[in-house]
Structure 1
C-alpha cells in the first residue's frame, strides 16, 4: 500500500489532521493499535480554545460542537471561601472558550471520516515507523496475523505519550524535559447538573478542586489527592463530601450529587521533547508534550501542532515549498513552551505542595490576591487561558 501521509493514532489530533488533508485532496491513512470502541470510551478534556474551534470548523466537523457546546466567557477562582471571577470575554477583547467533550469531538471526526470513505486501520499490532531519516519512510504493522507495510512521503506521529512514534527516534536525536508533580487528580463523571454555569478552580487548605462539566446535565469534578491513593479508597459519598469541603459554602450547599459512572486518578506531569521533527516524521500532541490539566491545554496544544503541520504539508504539496515544514518544530515548540509555562504556573498557584511551608503558602496567597485585584495580572491569565495565537 502507498499513500502520501501515514498518521499513527486515531485520537482527535490524528483524525483532525486526516480530515484537513482529505479536504485538501491529499491521500492519507490512519493506523491505530486499538479499536474504535476503545477510542470512543476514553474520557478526556473538554475546554476548547477559539483556535481549536476554528480548526474544527475548517475541517468541516463543527456543526454539533456549535449546537451542543457550551460557550464560556469566564471562570471562577475560589480561595478564602470567596469567588473571584476571571472575565475572559472582557479581558481579551471578546474571546471565550467552548466546553465540548473530547470524546464527542472524536466521534464527530470519526463519523465524518467514515462518510468521506477515509481509511482507518484499527487494531494494528506492532506498529513501527521506519525510514523517516531518508527518502523512503514507511510504517509496518500486523493485522489479523499478517504483516503489512504502507509506504508514504511523510509520517505524523499522533499516537500519544506511550505510542510507537517517539520510541522509534534514536536516543541521541531527542532531548527530554520533564517535571513530575507530587500529587494526582481524582476525577469523576456523573450525570448531575454542574454546580456552576462556569468552571470553578478552588484553592483550599485541604487541596485543589475543579468543578467542570461536559454538558448541562453531565458534570466532571476533580480533587487533588495523594499519589498513594487508590480509586477503591474513594466511595462516591467520600468524594462528594471532600469536594464540598473545598468549595465556598454557597456552592457546596447547592451542589447536586449522584452516582458516578467513571472514576480515575491521574498523575500530573510536564513533559516536552525537542525537536518535534525527525526527517520525514513529525510528532504531534501527546507524543511530544504533556501538560498538567490545570490550564486546559492538552488537546488545544495538539490542535495547534496540527495547524502548523497542515500548513507545512499544504505548502509542500500545493506550492512545492518545504519552508513551513522546516519551521514546524520551532514554531510548535515556541507555543508549546508558553503553554507549559502557563500550566505549570496554574498548577503551582492552585495546589498545596507537601514542601510548600509557611513562607511558600504566604507567597501563594499573595499571588492569588494580586492576580484577582490587578487587571494587568488578570489579563495575562485570561490571554493564556483562551489560547495564544498560532
Structure 2
C-alpha cells in the first residue's frame, strides 16, 4: 500500500506537473510560474529534467520488482497478511489525547512544543484509526467515525490539509489489510473525490486561490481543483534545482555523513534538510529571491543527482525502496512501539517527497514516538498485572484460613 501511495504522489509530481507546465507555460502571476523555467524555456528545461526523473522512477520500479521476487521465494510468503495487534487501546487514547493537548497549545500560542512532539499533532489520529480495535465491530466503527469527523473539523480550524489526507491514508491502509485491495479499489473514486473537495475548500481559506485563477484563465472548475492538487505535489522543481546547481556536489562525503548522523537527532538540535536545500541549493540555482525560511522538499532523485549524478539517483532510490520495505514490515509488527514507529514513517511526508537525509530525520521522530509508546505500554501492562494480582493481605489471610482448617477438621 505504501508503494502505491508513493506511486500516486510521484505521478502527480513527475508526470502531471511537467505535462501542465509544458501545455500551459504559465507566465508571471499564473499558477506554478517558475522564473527559471520561463527564462530558459519550459520545453527545454523539462526535456533536460525528464530523463533524470525517469531514471529515478525506473530504479524504484526495478527495486520493487526485485524485492517482490525475493519476498515471494521466502518460506511462508504465501500466508495472508495478518492485521497487526498494535498498541493497547489505552495507549492509543493517551496518544490521541496528547495530540489534542498539543494542538490546542499550538493554536493558542501557549507554551513551547518540542519539535519531536509536534508531529503527533498530525499523526496521533491516523495511528488511532489504523490500530484501534474494540470488542464489537459497531462500537469501533462509531469511535473511528467520531475521530474522523474531529480531523475534518481540525483541518478547517487549522487550515491544514494534512489531517484529512492522513485519515484517508489510514482508512485505506486499514481496509487493505482487513478487506483486501479489491475492496479499496471500489472505494477509490470516493477517496479521490474527498481529496479534491479537501483541496477545493481549504486552499481558498488559506489564501491560495489556485483553482479560482485556473478557472479565470479559461479552465473548467474541476480542472482548476485538480491543478491545485498538482501544485501541492512537487518533486519536479527540486530536479530543476539539481540541474541548475552551479557547484556540485552539494555536500562533500564527510558533510553528507555528518548530516545523516545529525539527522537522527531530535528536531530542534539542527537545521532541517529541507531548510538547507532552500538556502543552499535553490537559492544558488538562479533563484536568489526564494523565501529563505521555507523548508522545501528535495526528493531522492534530486538529492542523489546533485550529490553524484546518475549514480547518486540510483543509490538514493534503491535506499528509498529498502526503507519503504522496512517501514511496511515495521508497521505490521505486533510489538506496540515498533508498530507505532513504522506507522509514523508511513504518515511522514519524507517517504513521499524527501531525500534520504529527510527520511533519516523522519526516522528520528518516529523512534521517539515508538519509545513513548513502549513506555506507555509497559506502564499499562504493569498496572494491569498489579490490578489482577491478589493483595498480600488477601494471600496472608487465605493461608491463615487454610491453617485453621487443617487444625480444626
**Bigger radius of gyration, 1 or 2?**
2
What's the TM-score once normalised by structure 1's chain length?
A: 0.25
Between Structure 1 and Structure 2, the one with more strand by share is 1
